[in-house]
Amino acid sequence: MRVWNRRLPVLASAVGLATLSLSAAPISGTVNISGSVAVGETFIDFQPPVGPPNGAFVVSNTGNTGSFAGLSNTTGAILDLNDALEPPGQAFPTLKGFVTFAAAPNISLDLTEIDPGTFSSANCFAAPAAGQTCTPAATGNGFASPFDLTNTSATTSTAAITVRGNAVNTATGEISPFIGIFTTQFTVPYQTLLAEVATGQVATSYSTTFTATTIPEPMTPILLGSGLIALGALRRFRRR
C-alpha cells in the first residue's frame, strides 16, 4: 500500500501539468468601437486629441462578445498611423498597444499588418457616379494605398481599411490573431475626398470591428488525454 501512496503525488502532478494549458485565457471575440479621425496622404490621426501619439474612442453598446463582452460604453486609446512607419502592404515592426481598453488593461491589440486596398485606380478621377470603386495608386510616400473607396451614389461614398495583428493577454502572454475593419461614410463622392486629401486632410467619424480568434494549441488534445489517463490511474490506485 505504501508503494501506491508514494505514486499518488506523482500522478497528481501529472494531472496538474496535463491540464495547465487548459486554464489559459487567450483573447477572443468581437469588439466594436467608434471615434473621430483626420486622414491625410501619409497619415491617419485618431482624435481627440489632434496630433500624435494617439486618440480616444468609445466601445459601442452592442455586438461585443467573448473577452470584450463587458466593455460596452467604455473608452480606450488607439495609436496614430504614418505610412513611413507602418507602410500598407509591407512588413513593419509590430506596433504594440495599437488599441488598448481602459476597462480591460490586460487586453492589447498589437498591429502587424495593414492590407493594401483591393480596388483598381482606374475610376479614381472619373466623373462621380453610383457604384464606382477606387483604390488610389499610391500614398504620398509612394506606398500602396490601404483605402477601398466606393461611391454609394453620385453624391455619397464610403471608405474602408483592413488591418491585422495579435490580440495579446498581457497578464498571461497568450496571443491570438485579430482582423479589424475600419469604415466610414461621407456625404460627398470619393473624388471630392481625394481632392481634399491631396491639399490637406479630411476629418470624419469612423467605426471599427475587431475580431480575435483563438488558435488551439497543437499539444492541448495530447495533454488532455494524458490528464484523463492519470485521473483514471489515480482512481484505480485509490480503490486498491
The pTM (predicted TM-score) of the whole model is: 0.80
| Whole-number percent of the chain with pLDDT over 70 | 80
Task: Please tell me the distance from the alpha carbon of residue 153 to that of residue 129, in angstroms, as a whole number.
Answer: 6
224 has pLDDT over 90: no
| Whole-number percent of the chain with pLDDT over 90 | 75
Average pLDDT on 148-170 reads: 97
Q: Are the C-beta atoms of residues 209 and 44 closer than 8 Å to each other? A: no
State the pLDDT at residue 204. 94
State the pLDDT at residue 20. 40
Q: What are the E-state strand segments in the chain?
A: 29-39, 43-47, 54-59, 75-79, 81-82, 95-101, 104-114, 133-134, 148-151, 157-169, 174-186, 202-212
Task: Please tell me the distance from the alpha carbon of residue 142 to that of residue 41, in angstroms, as a whole number.
Answer: 10
> Within the chain, what is the greatest distance between any pair of CA atoms?
90
61 has pLDDT over 50: yes
Task: Give the 3-state DSSP-derived string for 65-111, with helices as H, strands as E and coil as C.
Answer: CHHHCCCCCCEEEEECEECCCCCCCCCCCCEEEEEEECCEEEEEEEE
14 has pLDDT over 80: no
161 has pLDDT over 70: yes
The β-bridge relationship of strands 81-82 and 43-47 is antiparallel
Q: Which residue has the cell 490506485?
A: 237
16 has pLDDT over 50: no
| Peptide bond preceding 9 in cis form (omega within 30 of 0) | no
Average pLDDT on 4-24 reads: 44
Long-range contacts of 193-202 (CB under 8 A, 24+ apart): 193/149, 193/157, 193/159, 194/124, 194/125, 194/134, 194/136, 194/149, 197/39, 197/40, 197/41, 198/41, 200/40, 201/38, 201/39, 201/40, 201/45, 202/38, 202/39, 202/40
Average pLDDT on 57-63 reads: 97
Confidence label for 140 from pLDDT (cuts 50, 70 and 90)? confident
For residue 116, what is its C-alpha cell? 493594401
HSE-up (13 A, CA, CB side) for residue 3: 1
Task: Please tell me the distance from the alpha carbon of residue 150 to that of residue 120, in angstroms, as a whole number.
Answer: 11
